Amino acid sequence: MLKEAHQLLKTTPGIRFVGNIEPRDVPGGEVDVVVCDGFTGNVILKLTEGVAKMLLGMLKQMFLANLGGKLAYLLLKGSVADLKHQMDSEEYGGAPFLGAKQPVIKAHGSSKAKGIKNAIRQAKICVENDLCGTMQSALDELAAAQKTEE
């Protein structure tokens, strides 16, 4: 299945397929989309969340360790808040399943009220931008282009 998916993505016109990537490239933004099985994707997401939480905890300990750390925190407070905001899954709420006929947002299993509210916001954005229709049109265009090439 993996080899077939690789070949299909590699030969599909209109997409920039870079091939297999290293796990270290996932959070760095080297690619926009990572295609993998559900188990692997879940492991990547959970590990990334855990590392982010751990790093934020380490930063907090560093800032609270002594007076110098506390003064440094006061200088960096806005940037630290921005970083925490960017790394908080509750801020995003969830992500759309691509290829569904109607918007389907996958929220985190441990989402609190804020995460669910933002997942609903994501669904609203999908509807407003006709994500499903746009995806279907793009897939239809790719299929038509592929038939023309054959």
Q: Who contacts 31 (Cβ-Cβ below 8 Å, separation ≥6)? A: 18, 21, 25
Share above pLDDT 70 across residues of the chain, in percent, rounded to a whole number: 99
Q: Give the SS3 label for residue 31.
A: coil
Q: What is the pLDDT of residues 87-125, one digit of tens each?
A: 888 888 888 887 788 889 988 888 999 999 999 999 999
Q: How many residues does the chain have?
A: 150
Question: Model confidence over 35-52: pLDDT tens digits?
Answer: 888 898 889 888 888 888
How much is the average pLDDT of 54-72? 92
